Amino acid sequence: MGLLSSSEPVDEETRRIRDSGPVADRSDLVREADAFMSRHLTERVAVTDVARHVHVSASSLSHRYREETGVTPMGRLIRMRIDLARALIVKGQPLKIVAEETGFSDAFHLSKTFKRLEGVSPREFLRNMGGRASGISRLP
């Protein structure tokens, strides 16, 4: 199956490619937690919210999720948000809008988290995209 056919719609123009790897081998708990976090990317989400949704304690979710995936549930949520932010930045969305669309409190918090995870600021990321970001030359 191709990447596009296995992707998830984000909006009319954007699709999110699911993580590669043995997703089928993941437990129902991890799949349900990921689905919940994916549906609530723009909202404030705490580990207790995810745990409540999958019917376990926050501690149990954190331990089981990390044991199975190697990351914490909140670490995964932040990664999902940054992946979506990358797509929106390439589309030319202003950083303030990207922050709102990805659940960050403001553009500064998004930029700081983006740089920590990606190794470059959103502006540098876009500049590095060069010609691949059709017609986009600056980050508002």
Q: Which domains does the chain have, with CATH numbers?
A: 24-77 (1.10.10.60), 81-131 (1.10.10.60)
pLDDT at position 11, please? Answer: 64
Mean pLDDT value of segment 32-56 = 95
Q: Could you tell me the pLDDT band of residue 26, with boundaries at 50, 70 and 90?
A: confident
Contacts 24+ apart (CB under 8 A), 6-11: 8/38, 10/84, 10/87
Q: What is the DSSP string of 53-120?
A: HHTS-HHHHHHHHHHHHSS-HHHHHHHHHHHHHHHHHHTT--HHHHHHHTT-SSHHHHHHHHHHHHSS
Mean pLDDT value of segment 68-88 = 96
Average model confidence (pLDDT) across the chain: 84
Do 35 and 23 touch, CB atoms closer than 8 A? Answer: no
| 14 or 33, greater pLDDT | 33
What is the per-residue pLDDT across 91-110, written as a single tens digit (0 to 9) for each?
999 999 999 999 999 999 99
